[in-house]
């Protein structure tokens, strides 16, 4: 046994907590990321949870994972493979080991590796490590359950409650591995369990015990890691998930626009957390209606928009199909509406808890008639805030429904969020009809500069009008089936969307002389960026152009796409962005990298594929 | 009641329904009722779905939307919750309201959102030219049921009551005073107020409500229910309703010693809807069709409860701006 702890400095470290869905892996992961963020590390997290509500304890389908990536510099993804894998039972080791690096440290609770546990996890021998070819030297085998029981023997807690603290023991052990300050974790727990101080103290006792166990037995682990902070943007930070950041973006936009925020929604994974988050904030006047179905969620939001609110509806998966009818109503009525689609695996119910980018063409085209609609895609958990804010700004200022795409990966993942200063955000000015137009105004009278119609909110005397799903006469606003008028209205609706100003596409990396341009959109930004960084470190000339604004496309899109000898569009679908770009940019024929696995990209696989492309 | 508005103030355009269509009669009654109610046209939103009757908002000098098929109740819900100051009227036909929109109909009732929900029931799809609707009787022959339907219809009152509705009234479109009366009662009622309007489709379902469509028919075949008054009907109020076992029976006053004191007195405010449902489901030839306000019970409304909860939480929570919200999180500082 060595007397001295070797502290090894690392630029970044990835930890994956795994166990039964009831084992509290997410809480352990969250505390660890908060503790790390507090010392200034950049963080990125990703939960990987099963679709089953509660699979049988110890079963393979019931395993849930939570991955945390901490880094001294900028961290773009939750990471591919982990440096430390915590497996709270045999099933977790069985299913999660494939996410571990070959030299990863593995922490297991030996008390959950009994014969019955091994059988449930489909091990055929009594030696799971040998069966999986895991070098025992890398394993910190620890009787976690027993030690937690001993630790809380005098607490007077129910046996069930005691077992719920196992996650904290693992957390303590991980904190020791990374030399983390436990005080932050203690404060976190004291706040979380403010109403149950006994629970907080029990958890704290167990974390300390896990930490001490690590310290006392350090010979069994390879090293203690330390991730120092190199460069950081000064400011105040919080840890935020994509869904929470989206909700915050809506709240911020409503406040900036001076409007009531209305959310009409129906619970659906993985969008539901947005409904949960917004439902909490009634003290900000946020109104949430949990509707009878997805259709009513969107339809009621259209009603709220008509009544003068900032109207939002949120959904995932099949929900977006059900909303398309009312979205189209908002198109023809030219009312502001934000439709949040947190993409998940499809078709139909598909992979409810997994991530894809497979709704892009659906939201661009999936409605009857000519139905143009702006589409934005958030690029990271923290970017969800900006994307949501901008979606609201576009909807309100251009009187149109807007689709905001996120995905399960971005929505459930988290990152360190620098607190925004609202005053620095562009103001939101809806085109309210000027009072002097009273008497002459008609509903489809447009502003010359951008083709946007005026908004007359009910309650204003002299501006009564009827909107509807039937085509209207451009001049009078009355129902019209006139062929020329319909043709004109179709064009005007399209021109209005085309005229929305969006920022230019930014090229990162070797913008001037890249041999390969990587193109992506939305939630894959982190992985594509990480792949580019690593390829450039290896001496390759690579650039990245990542789309956040998809309709309308940035003005310089064609220019950028045509500038490089080779372009690869990488996306988590069968080629939807590539199809859209080919439609919009004459003669553009990119290479494609497509994956539809429901899992985030793996940077190393991207690098292999892109490198191969460059060699072709 | 005198208000500063006349029916003219709520009128717009020239209706384009078929001559003789029940919608014309209803529209005129609605204009009149709104003038008597006296809410300013710019504080009213009339929201319909799709169908012949759903054209109605185009003939109103109010705010309004003629939306998409079946969604009027859902759209009206968002409108009312977002802007509770508005007087919101939702207008649907039997197909719009009870078939494609059936789910929204029951949930608007269950939530008890303060909407005036008009159900124009002609038991047919008119705009698509004559298919049976969810209120067409079993065996009904139409273009889509040439050999007769093999399904039972909804009875709107049953659906409303089943969804815990607190207000249900019925009128015949051609009966202007009866229609105006229930519309005013619907407006006065706080919560979801369902008004079933029996009306004729002269083209595809002519005569569907013949037994009560004119004054003489109503005298014989209908009963006007008024809260607190005995349930009598007939040309000379010679008939009445009494309870018999679990049911109702029609009796003749003066026969078998029955006097007005034996007759049931209408209680629209009774929380228990058992007898109200029985009244609403009466049909000929053995019973009169019930008209007027059948159920009108006070209950908390959704929109007011939403507002009240927001006010309550505002008082309890210490954060009221986005900036204050941010500070409720675990924050760390990087210098």
Residue A148 is part of a domain; what is its CATH number? 3.40.920.10
- Domain positions in chain B are 7-208
- Does A27 touch chain B if contact means CB atoms closer than 8 Å? no
Asked whether residue A161 falls in the same domain as residue A186, the answer is yes
Contact at 8 Å (CB) between A64 and A48? yes
Alpha-carbon distance B215 to nearest alpha carbon in chain A (angstroms): 35
Q: For residue A62, how many C-alpha atoms fall within 13 Å in the half-sphere facing its CB?
A: 20
Residue B209 has which token pair? 């409500």
Structural domain ending residue among the three candidates A396, A424, A452: A424
Asked whether residue A13 falls in the same domain as residue A138, the answer is yes
Alpha-carbon distance B42 to nearest alpha carbon in chain A (angstroms): 5
User: Is the pLDDT reported for residue A502 higher than 50?
Assistant: yes
Residue A3's pLDDT band (boundaries 50, 70, 90)? Answer: very low
Q: Which residues of A touch B59 (CB under 8 A)?
A: none
User: Is the pLDDT reported for residue A225 higher than 80?
Assistant: no
Q: What is the ipTM of this complex?
A: 0.97
* Interval A362-372: pLDDT, tens: 999 999 999 99
Cα separation of B305 and A72, whole Å?
Answer: 50
* Interface contact flag, A302 B75, Cβ < 8 Å: yes
Residue B326 has which token pair? 């941010």
The CATH number linked to A520 is 3.40.50.920
- Does B62 touch chain A if contact means CB atoms closer than 8 Å? yes
| More reliable by pLDDT, A26 or A551 | A551
Alpha-carbon distance A284 to nearest alpha carbon in chain B (angstroms): 5
* Interval A46-85: pLDDT, tens: 888 776 666 788 888 889 899 999 988 888 889 889 999 9
Q: Which residues of B touch A37 (CB under 8 A)?
A: 332
Residue spans of alpha helices (H) in chain B: 22-37, 72-82, 94-98, 102-111, 156-162, 176-188, 210-213, 215-221, 274-280, 302-316, 322-326
Alpha-carbon distance A369 to nearest alpha carbon in chain B (angstroms): 14
Mean pLDDT of B302-323: 97
User: Is the pLDDT reported for residue A222 higher than 60?
Assistant: no
Structural domain ending residue among the three candidates A189, A204, A227: A227
What local confidence, expressed as pLDDT, does residue B156 receive?
Answer: 98
| Any domain includes A1 | no
Residue A404 φ/ψ, nearest 5 degrees: -105, 115
Q: Which residues of A touch B83 (CB under 8 A)?
A: 304, 307-309, 457-459
Q: Which fold, B7-208?
A: Rossmann fold (3.40.50)
* Interface contact flag, A460 B42, Cβ < 8 Å: yes
| Any domain includes A2 | no
* Interface contact flag, B332 A422, Cβ < 8 Å: no
Mean pLDDT of B265-276: 98
Asked whether residue A295 falls in the same domain as residue A348, the answer is yes
Mean pLDDT of A510-526: 97
Alpha-carbon distance A313 to nearest alpha carbon in chain B (angstroms): 11
Of A303, A420, A469, the CB nearest to B79: A303
Mean pLDDT of B7-22: 96
Residue A2's pLDDT band (boundaries 50, 70, 90)? Answer: very low
Asked whether residue A211 falls in the same domain as residue A146, the answer is yes
Mean pLDDT of B47-70: 97
* Interface contact flag, A34 B68, Cβ < 8 Å: no
Of B45, B318, B322, the CB nearest to A458: B45
Residue from B321, B279, B197 nearest A281 by CA? B321
Measure Cα distances from B229 to B170, B253, B275 in Å: 17, 15, 15
User: Is the pLDDT reported for residue A41 higher than 90?
Assistant: no
Asked whether residue A442 falls in the same domain as residue A564, the answer is no
Structural domain ending residue among the three candidates A451, A486, A501: A501
Q: Which residues of B touch A333 (CB under 8 A)?
A: 65
Residue B288 φ/ψ, nearest 5 degrees: -80, 155
Asked whether residue A89 falls in the same domain as residue A154, the answer is yes
Q: Where are the strands (E) in chain B, listed by range? A: 44-48, 63-66, 87-93, 116-121, 124-125, 131-132, 167-172, 193-198, 222-225, 232-233, 239-244, 247-252, 289-296, 332-334
Q: Which residues of A touch B76 (CB under 8 A)?
A: 303
What proportions of chain A, in percent to the nearest 5, are helix, strand and coil?
40, 20, 35
- Does B45 touch chain A if contact means CB atoms closer than 8 Å? yes
Of A283, A464, A465, the CB nearest to B314: A283
Asked whether residue A404 falls in the same domain as residue A288, the answer is yes
Asked whether residue A271 falls in the same domain as residue A320, the answer is yes
Q: What are the residues facing B248 on neighbouring strands? A: B243
Residue B290's pLDDT band (boundaries 50, 70, 90)? Answer: very high
Asked whether residue A471 falls in the same domain as residue A389, the answer is no
- Does B316 touch chain A if contact means CB atoms closer than 8 Å? yes
* Interface contact flag, A251 B76, Cβ < 8 Å: no
Overall residue count recorded for chain A in this entry: 616
| Any domain includes A546 | yes
Residue from A615, A613, A600 nearest A81 by CA? A600
Mean pLDDT of A204-213: 93
Q: Which residues of B touch A191 (CB under 8 A)?
A: 330
* Interface contact flag, B83 A296, Cβ < 8 Å: no
- Residue pairs between chains A and B whose CB atoms are closer than 8 Å: 205
Q: Which of residues 95-114 of B touch A (CB under 8 A)?
A: 103-104, 106-107
Domain count, chain A: 4
**Closest chain B residue by Cα to residue A307:** B79
Cα separation of B9 and B11, whole Å?
Answer: 6
Residue A178's pLDDT band (boundaries 50, 70, 90)? Answer: confident
Mean residue pLDDT across chain A: 93
Asked whether residue A600 falls in the same domain as residue A569, the answer is yes
Residue B327 φ/ψ, nearest 5 degrees: -75, -5
| More reliable by pLDDT, B236 or A54 | B236
Residue A319 has which token pair? 């929900």
Residue A373 has which token pair? 């609609």
Element (H, E) at B164: none
Cα separation of A197 and A199, whole Å?
Answer: 5
Q: Which residues of B touch A420 (CB under 8 A)?
A: 326
Asked whether residue A435 falls in the same domain as residue A516, the answer is no
* Interface contact flag, A248 B322, Cβ < 8 Å: yes
Asked whether residue A268 falls in the same domain as residue A343, the answer is yes
- Does A101 touch chain B if contact means CB atoms closer than 8 Å? no
Alpha-carbon distance B104 to nearest alpha carbon in chain A (angstroms): 7
Contact at 8 Å (CB) between B231 and B276? no
Q: For residue A572, how many C-alpha atoms fall within 13 Å in the half-sphere facing its CB?
A: 27
Range of the domain at A519: 507-615
- Does A38 touch chain B if contact means CB atoms closer than 8 Å? yes
Cα separation of B317 and B304, whole Å?
Answer: 20
* Interface contact flag, A303 B47, Cβ < 8 Å: yes
* Interval A74-133: pLDDT, tens: 888 898 899 999 999 999 999 999 999 988 889 999 999 999 999 999 999 999 999 999
* Interface contact flag, B326 A419, Cβ < 8 Å: yes
Q: Is B237 left (phi over 0), alpha (psi -120 to 50) or beta?
A: left
Q: Which of residues 73-92 of B touch A (CB under 8 A)?
A: 74-83, 85-86
* Interface contact flag, B45 A307, Cβ < 8 Å: yes
Of B13, B86, B313, the CB nearest to A458: B86
Overall residue count recorded for chain B in this entry: 335
């Amino acid at each position: 046994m060595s007397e001295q702890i070797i502290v090894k400095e690392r630029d970044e470290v990835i930890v994956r907590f795994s166990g039964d869905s009831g084992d509290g892996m997410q809480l352990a992961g969250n505390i660890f990321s908060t503790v790390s963020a507090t010392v200034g590390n950049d963080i990125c997290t990703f939960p990987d949870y099963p679709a089953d509500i509660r699979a049988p304890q110890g079963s393979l389908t019931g395993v849930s994972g939570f991955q945390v990536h901490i880094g001294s510099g900028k961290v773009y993804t939750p990471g591919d493979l982990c440096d430390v894998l915590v497996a709270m039972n045999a099933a977790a080791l069985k299913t999660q080991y494939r996410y571990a690096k070959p030299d990863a440290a593995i922490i297991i609770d030996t008390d959950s590796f009994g014969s019955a546990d091994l059988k449930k996890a489909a091990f055929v021998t009594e030696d799971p490590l040998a069966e999986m070819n895991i070098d025992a030297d890398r394993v910190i085998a620890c009787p976690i359950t027993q030690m937690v029981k001993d630790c809380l023997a005098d607490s007077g807690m129910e046996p069930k409650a005691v077992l719920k603290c196992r996650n904290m023991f693992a957390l303590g052990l991980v904190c020791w591995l990374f030399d983390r300050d436990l005080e932050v974790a203690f404060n976190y727990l004291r706040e979380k369990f403010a109403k149950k101080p006994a629970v907080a103290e029990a958890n704290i006792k167990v974390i300390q015990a896990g930490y001490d166990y690590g310290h006392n037995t350090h010979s069994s682990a390879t090293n203690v890691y330390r991730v120092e902070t190199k460069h950081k943007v000064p400011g105040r930070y919080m840890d935020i998930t994509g869904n929470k950041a989206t909700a915050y973006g809506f709240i911020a936009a409503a406040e900036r626009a001076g409007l009531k925020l209305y959310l009409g929604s129906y619970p659906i994974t993985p969008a539901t957390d947005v409904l949960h988050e917004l439902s909490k904030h009634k003290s900000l006047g946020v109104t949430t209606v949990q509707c009878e179905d997805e259709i009513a969620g969107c339809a009621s939001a259209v009603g709220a928009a008509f009544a003068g609110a900032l109207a939002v509806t949120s959904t995932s998966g099949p929900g977006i199909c059900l909303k398309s009818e009312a979205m189209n109503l908002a198109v023809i009525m030219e009312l502001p509406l934000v439709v949040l689609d947190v993409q998940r695996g499809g078709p139909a119910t598909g992979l409810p808890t997994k991530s894809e980018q497979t709704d892009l063409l659906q939201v661009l085209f999936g409605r009857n008639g000519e139905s143009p609609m702006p589409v934005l895609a958030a690029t990271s958990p923290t970017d969800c805030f900006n994307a949501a804010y901008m979606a609201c700004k576009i909807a309100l200022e251009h009187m149109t429904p807007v689709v905001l795409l996120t995905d399960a990966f971005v929505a459930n993942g988290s990152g360190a969020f620098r607190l925004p200063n609202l005053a620095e955000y562009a103001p939101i000015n809806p085109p309210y009809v000027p009072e002097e137009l009273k008497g002459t105004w008609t509903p489809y009278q447009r502003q010359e500069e951008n083709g946007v119609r005026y908004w007359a909110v009910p309650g204003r005397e002299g501006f009564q009008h009827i909107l509807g799903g039937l085509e209207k006469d451009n001049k009078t606003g009355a129902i019209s089936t006139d062929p020329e008028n319909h043709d004109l209205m179709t064009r005007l609706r399209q021109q209005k969307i085309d005229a929305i100003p969006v920022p230019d596409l930014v090229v990162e990396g070797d913008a001037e002389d890249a041999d390969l341009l990587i193109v992506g959109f939305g939630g894959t930004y982190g992985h594509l960026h990480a792949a580019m960084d690593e390829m450039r470190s290896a001496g390759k000339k690579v650039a990245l152009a990542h789309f956040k604004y998809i309709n309308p496309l940035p003005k310089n899109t064609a220019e950028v796409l045509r500038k490089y000898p080779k372009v690869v569009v990488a996306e988590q679908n069968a080629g939807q962005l590539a199809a859209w770009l080919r439609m919009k940019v004459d003669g553009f024929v990119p290479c494609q990298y497509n994956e539809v696995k429901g899992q985030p990209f793996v940077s190393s696989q991207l690098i292999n594929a892109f490198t191969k492309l460059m060699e072709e | 009641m005198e208000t500063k508005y006349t029916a003219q103030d709520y009128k717009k355009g020239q209706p384009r329904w078929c001559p003789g269509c029940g919608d014309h009669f209803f529209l005129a009654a609605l204009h009149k009722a709104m003038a008597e109610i006296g809410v300013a046209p710019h504080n009213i939103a009339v929201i319909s779905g799709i169908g012949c009757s759903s054209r109605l908002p185009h003939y109103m000098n109010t705010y309004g939307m003629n939306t998409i098929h079946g969604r009027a109740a859902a759209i009206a819900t968002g409108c009312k919750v977002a802007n509770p100051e508005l007087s919101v009227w939702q207008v649907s036909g039997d197909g719009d309201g009870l078939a494609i929109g059936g789910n929204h109909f029951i949930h608007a009732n269950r939530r008890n959102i303060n909407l005036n929900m008009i159900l124009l029931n002609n038991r047919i799809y008119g705009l698509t030219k004559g298919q049976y609707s969810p209120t067409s009787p079993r065996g009904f022959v139409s273009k889509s049921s040439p050999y007769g339907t093999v399904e039972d219809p909804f009875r709107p009152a049953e659906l409303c009551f089943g969804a815990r509705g607190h207000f249900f009234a019925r009128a015949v479109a051609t009966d202007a005073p009866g229609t105006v009366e229930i519309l005013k009662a619907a407006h006065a009622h706080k919560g979801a107020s369902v008004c079933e309007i029996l009306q004729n489709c002269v083209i595809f379902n002519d005569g569907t409500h013949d037994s009560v469509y004119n004054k003489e028919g109503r005298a014989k075949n209908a009963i006007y229910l008024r809260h607190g008054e005995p349930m009598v009907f007939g040309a000379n109020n010679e008939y009445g309703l009494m309870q018999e076992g679990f049911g109702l029976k029609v009796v003749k006053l003066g026969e078998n010693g029955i006097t007005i004191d034996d007759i049931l007195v209408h209680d629209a405010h009774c929380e228990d809807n058992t007898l109200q449902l029985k009244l609403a489901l009466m049909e000929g030839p053995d019973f009169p069709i019930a008209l007027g306000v059948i159920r009108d019970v006070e209950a908390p409304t959704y929109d007011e409860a939403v507002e009240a909860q927001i006010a309550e939480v505002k008082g309890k929570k210490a954060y009221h701006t986005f900036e204050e919200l941010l500070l409720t999180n675990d924050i760390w500082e990087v210098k």
